[in-house]
Every structure is written in C-alpha cells, then in structure tokens.
Homo-oligomer: A and B are copies of this chain.
Amino acid sequence: MDKILATIITIGDELLIGQTIDTNSAWMAKELNEIGVWVLRRVAVGDNWDEIWKTLDEESQHAQIILITGGLGPTADDITKPLLCEYFGGKLVVDEGALQNVKNIFKRLNRPMIERNLKQAEVPDVCTVIPNRRGTAPGMWFEKNGKIYVSMPGVPHEMKGMMIDYILPKLPEYYKMPFILHRTLLTAGVGESFLAEMIQDLESSLPAYMKLAYLPNFGMVRLRLTVTGLDKQALENELEETFLKLQGLVKEYMVTNTDETLETIVGRLLHSKKMTMGTAESCTGGFVAHLITSVPGSSKYYKGSIISYSNEIKKEILNVQQDVLDTVGAVSEETVIQMVKGAVKTLNVDYAVATSGIMGPDGGTPEKPVGTVWIAAGNKDQVTAEKFSFRFDRSRNIDLTATYALNMIRKFILEH
C-alpha cells in the first residue's frame, strides 16, 4: 500500500556551519510516524533564496507533505516568509489574530513594541494562518497542486506547540493514513554481527511490509521491528507475534522489551518497589543524576547526589578512607565501593550507584589510561563493582559511563 510521504526542510545557516544541532526533525518525525506519515527525507538548507526555492521544487517531487521550519524571525537574515509569499503567488497582509498575539506577548513581558515586531503579524494572503501560542511568529499552511506545505518557526517549543495544536490533528483530514507500528528491544553485551547470526532465520522470513533495524549505541544494540499497513488489528497481532519470537531468540542479552531509556526503566523499578536511590558521581560529574531527574516524577524515588569531583569531598562527605585514596587512588574498586556505602548512608537511600574514572583528554597514566572507569552499585548490605576501559573522547566517555552506571544499578535493583 502507498505510504503518505513527508519531507522536513530546515532553514538556517546555523545548521550548515555546525553551530546548532537539529533536534526538531527527530521530534517531528516521531510525531508524524504516530499518525501514519512516513518521513522520506530531511533536508537542511541555508538562509539562501535560490537554494530554498530549488529545494521546495525538488522536495515536492518526493513527498505529499512538506514541513518547513526556521527563518521566520524579525531580522534581515529571516527570508522564509517573503520567499513563500512569492513562491505561492500571494501578497503580505496583516493578520488580526497574529497581531493581537504579538501585542499580548509584549504586554505580558512589559516590553515596548517596535515596528519590526508588528511585521511579525504579516502573512501571505494565500495561506491559512497557524496560531503561535508560544511566540510571536505565526505559522503558515499552504496548498498547491495537491501538496501541503507548512511553515513553522525553528524555535523548538514554538514549533512543537503548532504541531500538537494544529498540524498533527489537521493532516489526517486530508489523507487515509496507514498505521506505522514499531516495537523495540534493547540488548547489552553482544555485538551487532552476533545478534544478526542469532536472528537470521527470523529476519529472512519477514514479509515485505515488516522491517528489522539494528541500532547500535554506547555498546548496546537496539532491535526495532516496524510494520506498515491499513488493518491495525491484524498488524498489531502480527507484530506482537514476531516480536515475541525475536525476544525469545535474544533473551539472554535483552535489557528491556520497550523503547524506553534506562533511566525510565530504573525509575519504574524503584517506584514499584517503593524504594529510593541516590548517586555518588566523580567522573560523570552529575550526568547520571541529570538523566535520572529528566524523568518526570523522579523526585518520588530519587533523593539526590554527592558529586565528589575532588578527593576532599569523597573523603569528607562520602567517607572514602584517606589510605584508600593514598594507596590505590580515586579510580579504584575500593573507592567506588566506599562511595556507594557513603552515599547510601549520607543520602539515606536504599540504593546507590557510584562512578570514578579518567575522562580525558588529560589525567591518564600508563597504569590508568584515559577511559579507565570503575562503577559500583549497591545497597547497605552489598555492593558490586566493575571496571571498564572506554578510551574515547571526554564527551563519549561520560555518556558511556553514565549508560553503564544506569544499567548496573538496574541489574542490582532487579536482583536485590
């Protein structure tokens, strides 16, 4: 069956010189999938009239729906609005609703308004205006030759507001949407190629409308089954059946059979056990705590952390013994075990996880090169510790350490 295809065009030089990482497209793609729209391509172009024009022409050959973000601000480098006005053959007129919105925002902020701000309320007379609850620039919806073109601001929360309030509810009125369903499981401790061997019979027997993908990240591999079609009930049944077979084949390496983050899984485990946890972080410097507290409601089970970047804090607050630091050093099994014990006691929590390592680029020695990491997880009675050797760059070493720390505390909570 035919898919409803979309292209996402993001506009702005900042995307082409590496100043900004595009997080909008991933969010949009996920939401579009939910309503049955398949994103075929994503294209980023600069603040360049000819390139944007040519890209609009090209992408309308690829897709039925063209979603555009960026270039709607009040300054000279923002050319999307006049360009779209000319592209669709309209002229700019003031939209009363958008004007009132701009006025309200400036009134609320108690800031004076200037001519330039009022211009934000101008829109091409050939579009339908999409209200912006979260900012001054209105969105625009155009239709031409059976294709839909939507222009939104590049500011993430403004774009998200328009997608949720207007665009995602509106698109299904135009197309008979198929269902796109995904099931994902996460494995740890096994390489991509070994997984492929384990599941190759299943993989080669999949029907054309079912697709298996391997997503390696941070030393773990996600497996994703995707199915597309019109009969939702039949698709769900078939996906469930195949997904169960897949789980059976990889069960000894499976961490979870949901497409969730480790911090969400840890949170649910703690919540269901009515237990609490804390962290004692050296080398991850608060990143484990940040991941855990990114989950809404985490204050119910997460009490806090001692970030002991200095040895003084390891000693004074976490009670790591001076002679341990003197003999085996801060990056050692003994230290992370004492950090866990100290955190359980000082933070008054049921479980704790601790990290200590050398993230780089400096600080490595022949015995403990950059990337050497000790992680421990435990409760007041028992602590397990493990050594890792990552040897990547600082940012990736921090990411990896946090991921393995979350997986270690997950396993400990499950087993204790």
Min Cβ gap A187→B in Å is 13
Min Cβ gap A21→B in Å is 5
Min Cβ gap A307→B in Å is 4
Residues A313 and B347 in contact, CB atoms below 8 Å apart? yes
- Flag A303-314 by CB within 8 Å of B: 1 or 0 each: 111111110110
CA–CA, A387 to B260, complex, Å?
34
CA–CA, A116 to B363, complex, Å?
38
CA–CA, A18 to B29, complex, Å?
5
In the complex, chain B residues whose CB is within 8 Å of the CB of A395: 294
In the complex, chain B residues whose CB is within 8 Å of the CB of A289: 281, 285-286, 289-290, 307
**Within 8 Å of chain B (Cβ to Cβ): is A60?**
no
Min Cβ gap A257→B in Å is 16
CA–CA, A312 to B346, complex, Å?
11
Interface residues of A in 20-37 (CB under 8 A from B): 20-23, 25-31, 33
Between A29, A195, A286, A309, the greatest number of chain B beta carbons within 10 A of the residue's beta carbon is seen for: A286
- Flag A30-72 by CB within 8 Å of B: 1 or 0 each: 1101000011111111110001000100100000000000000
**Within 8 Å of chain B (Cβ to Cβ): is A114?**
yes
In the complex, chain B residues whose CB is within 8 Å of the CB of A155: 216
Min Cβ gap A41→B in Å is 6
CA–CA, A306 to B316, complex, Å?
13
In the complex, chain B residues whose CB is within 8 Å of the CB of A26: 15, 18-22
Interface residues of A in 130-184 (CB under 8 A from B): 134, 155-157, 160, 182, 184
**Within 8 Å of chain B (Cβ to Cβ): is A361?**
yes
Residues B73 and A55 in contact, CB atoms below 8 Å apart? no
Among candidates B25, B157, B297, B304, residue contacting A307 with C-beta atoms closer than 8 Å: B304
CA–CA, A216 to B75, complex, Å?
11
Chain A: interface secondary structure? Answer: mixed
**Within 8 Å of chain B (Cβ to Cβ): is A287?**
yes
Min Cβ gap A388→B in Å is 13
Residues A293 and B309 in contact, CB atoms below 8 Å apart? yes
Q: Which of A206-214, A229-237, A238-246, A247-255 contacts B (4 or more CB under 8 A)?
A: A206-214
Residues A211 and B13 in contact, CB atoms below 8 Å apart? yes
Among candidates B41, B134, B226, B286, residue contacting A55 with C-beta atoms closer than 8 Å: B41
Residues A41 and B47 in contact, CB atoms below 8 Å apart? no
Residues A116 and B39 in contact, CB atoms below 8 Å apart? no
In the complex, chain B residues whose CB is within 8 Å of the CB of A361: 296
In the complex, chain B residues whose CB is within 8 Å of the CB of A17: 29-30, 33, 39, 182, 226
In the complex, chain B residues whose CB is within 8 Å of the CB of A348: 312, 316
Closest to A106 in B: B191
Residues B305 and A286 in contact, CB atoms below 8 Å apart? yes
Among candidates B73, B156, B346, residue contacting A317 with C-beta atoms closer than 8 Å: B346
Among candidates B33, B75, B196, B296, residue contacting A214 with C-beta atoms closer than 8 Å: B75
Beyond the given A15-B29, A40-B51, please list 7 additional residue pairs across the A-B interface where CB-CB is below 8 A.
Answer: A17-B29, A18-B27, A20-B215, A41-B43, A73-B192, A285-B290, A296-B361
18 sample A-B contacts, Cβ–Cβ < 8 Å, listed by A number: A17-B30, A18-B29, A19-B222, A20-B215, A22-B22, A25-B44, A41-B44, A42-B44, A58-B58, A73-B192, A77-B214, A157-B393, A285-B293, A298-B309, A303-B310, A303-B313, A306-B306, A316-B348
